[in-house]
Structure 1
Amino acid sequence: MSACVLFHFPFDPGSRTARLALGEARVEWSEVLVRPWEAGCPLGELNPSGMPPVVQTTEAGKPLTLCEPAAVFGWLEDRAKTPFLLPADPGERAETRRLVTWFDRRFTDEVDAVLLHERMEKPLLRLGPPEARALREGREALRTHLAMLEALATQRDWLAGRRLSQADLVAAAHLSVLDYFGEIAWQNWPGLKTWYMKLKSRPCFRPLLSDRFQGLQPSAHYTDLDF
C-alpha cells in the first residue's frame, strides 16, 4: 500500500478535487472508498466534519492527516520546489483563490446542494424521486454559473489566467460530477467546452472517467476526450 492514502467518495466534488490534485502532482496513493452518510464510516475518526476527502500520509517521518481539499492543496504546494497550482503572479494567485472560494460557497450552495441532492443524494438515501421545481431552480442557477465560467474560459488560457491552477481542478471536479448526470449542455458553452476537453486530456483526469454511479450510466460523452 502507498504511504499516501486517500479516503474519498467518487462522486463528491471535493474528493474529485483531491484526486485531480494528487494526480497532477504525480503523488502515488492508495484509496479507501467511503460513504460518509453510513454508520461506522471511518471519516468520523479522521475529520471532525465527517466529510471527505481525507489524506493520510507522513511528513518528516511523522503521521500527517490532511482534511478536505484546502489542506491537500496546501500540502502539495508546500512540498513543491516551485509554485505548483498557485501561480507566481500575484494577480493570478488572487484570482485562483477567488474562484476556489466561489466554488466552495456560491456554486456548492446554489448548484450542488440542489442538483446533486436531487440527482445523487436522494437515490443514495432513498428519499424518493427528484422534485421538478428543485431541478428547474438548480438548472437555472447552473446556467448562471456556466455563463460566468464561459466568459473566463473564452478570455483566458485557463480560468484564473495563463497557467493551470487550483481553480481549474476545483471547477473540473464540480462540473465533471454534473456532466456524469447529463446536466451540462456543452454545445451552449463552446469556450468552456474547449477548456474542459483540455482538462479531460490530462493524465490526472483519466481515473475519474471510470467512475460509475450505481444504477445509472454516465452521459453519452462522459468518457470522450474529444466530444
Structure 2
Amino acid sequence: MRILYHLPLSAECRKVRLALMEKRIPFEPKLERVWDRREEFLELNPAGTVPVFQDENGLSIAESSAICEYLDEAYPDPSLFGRTLAERAEVRRLVAWFDLKFGAEVTKNLIYERHFKRQLGHGNPDAANIRAGYANLKPHLDYIGWLAETRAWLGGTHISLADFAAAAHLSVLDYANDVDWKYNPAATEWYQRIKSRPAFRPLLAERVSGLNPPAHYDDLDF
C-alpha cells in the first residue's frame, strides 16, 4: 500500500494529496507529528519534515516537489505538468511561486506562526509576522485573480500542479478563516472551480483536532 506521511495543515502535504487524488492513485494518509522526532520516521527522512511518500515498490521520497515530479513520471495519466516544454516550465515556475514566495510571505506568517511554532518549540507567535501575512495575502490574491482572468487555469489551458499548489495554500488558510473571499472575485471564482473537483472532497471533509473551520469551508458555492 502506498503511504503518505503528512500534517493536515501543511500546504505542501495538501499539494501532494491533491495530486495523488487527481491522478486517482490509492494511498493511505498517515498523520506524522514531526515535533515528536520519531526514530522510524527519521530513517525515512533525516530532515524530519513532511510530506514523505512511500510507493508500493518500497521507494520513499521526501519533499513535495520531488514527490510530485516522481508521481507525474511514474503515473503519467493525467499529466499535471503540461504537454509542451513551455507549459511544463510555466507550471514549475508557478509551483515554485506558491511553495516558496507565497509560502514564505503568507502561509508561514499565518499558519506556522499560530499553529506550528509552539509545537515545534520555536517560541511564541510573532504579531508582526502575522500582520505581514495578512498584508501580503492581498497582492497574491490579485496575482491569482489576474492569472484566472487571462487563462483557462493558472498554468495555462489545462488544470495543472500550479492550480493544486495554489489551492493547497489557500485551503489551509481558508480552514483557519484567514481569506477574505470578497476581496478578489476572479480568485474566488477560480477557487470555487478547483475545490469542486472530486480530488478536493477528502480535504474538505477532514477536520483538525481542536480547530474547526468556518461554515463556508466545505461549501462549494461560498
Counterpart in the other structure of 1:148: 143
**Counterpart pick for 1:164 among 148, 154, 159:** 159
CA distance in 1, matches of 2:84, 2:78: 10
Superimposed CA distance per residue, residues 162-186 of structure 1 (whole angstroms, 9 cap, x where no aligned partner): 1011111111111100011111111
CA distance in 2, matches of 1:16, 1:204: 11
CA distance in 2, matches of 1:207, 1:190: 25
| Residues 1:184 and 2:179 are matched in the alignment | yes
Return the TM-score normalized by structure 1.
0.90
| Residues 1:201 and 2:199 are matched in the alignment | no
What do you get for the CA RMSD once the two structures are aligned? 2.0
Counterpart in the other structure of 2:64: 69
Indicate the larger mover: 194-203 or 69-78: 69-78
CA distance in 2, matches of 1:168, 1:72: 16
Deviation, 1:113, is: 1.8
CA distance in 1, matches of 2:52, 2:76: 24
Count the aligned residue pairs: 222
CA distance in 1, matches of 2:151, 2:212: 33
Unaligned runs of 5+ in 2: none
CA distance in 1, matches of 2:160, 2:22: 10
Equivalent position SS for 1:188: coil
Equivalent position SS for 2:55: strand
Unaligned runs of 5+ in 1: none
CA distance in 2, matches of 1:75, 1:117: 27
CA distance in 1, matches of 2:75, 2:177: 36
Superimposed CA distance per residue, residues 156-214 of structure 1 (whole angstroms, 9 cap, x where no aligned partner): 11101110111111111111000111111111111111111111111111111122233
**Counterpart pick for 1:8 among 6, 9, 19:** 6
Return the TM-score normalized by structure 2.
0.92
Alignment of 1:20-99 (within 5 A): 20-40=18-38, 42-59=40-57, 63-81=58-76, 84-99=79-94
Relative distance call for 1:11 and 1:81 in structure 2 (3 A) is: closer
Equivalent position SS for 1:106: helix
Deviation, 1:21, is: 0.7
CA distance in 2, matches of 1:31, 1:81: 21
Counterpart in the other structure of 2:133: 138
Relative distance call for 1:211 and 1:107 in structure 2 (3 A) is: same
Identical amino acids, percent of aligned pairs:
44
Superimposed CA distance per residue, residues 32-70 of structure 1 (whole angstroms, 9 cap, x where no aligned partner): 2111111326431111321111111134xxx21121222
Relative distance call for 1:144 and 1:41 in structure 2 (3 A) is: farther
- What is the identity, as a one-letter code, of the residue corresponding to 1:21? A
CA distance in 1, matches of 2:149, 2:3: 37
Counterpart in the other structure of 1:222: 217
- What is the identity, as a one-letter code, of the residue corresponding to 2:107? D
Is the CA contact 1:7–1:33 (under 8 Å) kept in the aligned structure 2? yes
Deviation, 1:31, is: 2.2
Superimposed CA distance per residue, residues 49-100 of structure 1 (whole angstroms, 9 cap, x where no aligned partner): 21111111134xxx21121222221222113455610111332221111111
